[in-house]
Amino acid sequence: MNNPEGISSRNRVGLAFVEDVETVDVVEVEETLLTDAVETLDPEPVSNQKKKRRKNLFQRILKKFFVLVARAYVSFFYYTWPILKKAIKPKFVFAVYGNRKQQGRFFSESFTKKARRAFPIGFMFFRGKLGMYCASPRTEEEMAEKPAFASAYLMGVLSEFPKTKHFALAGRLPSFDHKARGKNVPEPLRDGSMGTRYVMLRTAEALAKKLGKTLSETTFCIPGGAGFTGAKVVEDLSRICRFVIALDPRYEMSETMGNVLRTNDARAVGQADAVIILTGNGKEVENFIPYLHNGMVLADDTHPPVPKYLREQVAGTGAMLYKTVAEARRGIRMIPALPGFEPSNVPGCLLQCVVEMTAGRYFDEHDFSRFCDEADKLGFYAKLISHPD
């Protein structure tokens, strides 16, 4: 029968007026209705549906409970901090931020409207030294749209902790601030790039080991290779690896210099043995998934990380995708843990902060090899893990 409405004849009940009338097979209709009736009366599917509804209801209640607990914790910390700050003197501070989804779990809309531009939400401990991490009511999306929000946040961090000498800035905060003010973050704030570079070097070693190769035998691709930190990682790897492909849409043309190819052509990923993802958002892997191949290994250092549905697509190519984190044998403990991180995980930007705090000095670009030595002495290393869901 002609069906211009796109409705299945199996599910149609009653009369339908159409332009072209055809003969209906009555026996087929009766069999279909009988089958549907039996399926409806079958107690097993009904039982399963009830179980599923109960499970979904329980999950929603549990999720709501955790959101309420998280918001209560943040509110308690927020309103008691003016009193607590008189007794708590952290040696180091980590400024973090979240996207809309993450912050919605911790901050209510009414809270974000009246909150200070920076406020502490957790503790850190490293070798007997106390640290704190703080948050902003502004989301990543808001800072990306108006970088001045990030600068205001950083100034708020400094005013909350005027006697602290070591600060770490998460993710894109340094670049947001640079866009707003046109210059690098001022000391004692640190952009954390050396910590990230250190972790990426150790990540490259771990990926090569997964492949059963040495670094000098391995070709790496770095999506996000034209970024502030990405460009430095490309340069670092070019000194020790067989070949490096810097992939970034900001490159206007493909160009090879020495053992480095800089290109905006996603097909170049297929030439690599291993990939270290340094893009601004994990969703950007979608651009090069079609060019991954069986046996390739990838490390995700994006924030937010590669989402689950894209990780499944990567797995479908035969490639292996890991999340890379830094840890130390006597590591940092974060209470509560950051979303997406285990309590012992150390973001690269925070790693630089604690290395400089322990060494009692700041390191500049020319001291990078010495910085790596200090990080090694403190027992830091890169670890490839499964993405926490």
Residues 78 and 85: their CA atoms lie apart, in Å, by 11
* Window from 70-79, 132-141, 280-289 with minimum mean pLDDT: 70-79
Of all helices (H) and strands (E), which one includes residue 222?
A: strand 219-223
The residues that bridge with 195 in the sheet, in sequence order, are: none
Q: In terms of DSSP bridges, do strands 320-328 and 380-385 run parallel, antiparallel, or are they unpaired?
A: antiparallel
- As given in the structure block, the two tokens for residue 125 are 């401990």
* Highest mean pLDDT of the ranges 179-193, 209-223, 336-350: 209-223
The identity of residue 348, as a single letter, is G
pLDDT digits (tens, 9 = 90+) for 33-87: 445 544 454 555 666 776 677 767 777 787 788 778 888 888 888 999 999 988 9
Residues 331 and 129: their CA atoms lie apart, in Å, by 12
Residues 122 and 77: their CA atoms lie apart, in Å, by 8
* pTM recorded for the entire structure: 0.77
Burial of 153 (0-12, 13-18, 19+ CB in 10 A): buried
Tell me the H-state helices in the chain. Answer: 26-41, 43-84, 100-106, 109-114, 140-145, 148-160, 173-181, 193-211, 228-238, 308-316, 348-359, 368-377
Judge whether 240 and 254 are in contact, CB under 8 Å: no
In the structure, what pLDDT confidence band is assigned to residue 346 with cuts at 50, 70 and 90? confident
Q: Check pLDDT > 80 for residue 339.
A: no
Count CA atoms within 13 Å of residue 4 on its CB side.
Answer: 6
The identity of residue 149, as a single letter, is F
Full strand arrangement of the beta sheet holding 274-277 = 255-257, 260-263, 243-247, 219-223, 274-277, 297-300, 320-328, 380-385
pLDDT digits (tens, 9 = 90+) for 78-114: 999 999 988 999 999 999 998 888 788 888 888 888 8
DSSP-derived 3-state class of residue 291: helix
Superfamily of domain 194-385: NAD(P)-binding Rossmann-like Domain (3.40.50.720)
CB atoms inside a 10 Å sphere around CB 89: 11
Residues 388 and 342: their CA atoms lie apart, in Å, by 9
Q: In terms of DSSP bridges, do strands 320-328 and 297-300 run parallel, antiparallel, or are they unpaired?
A: parallel
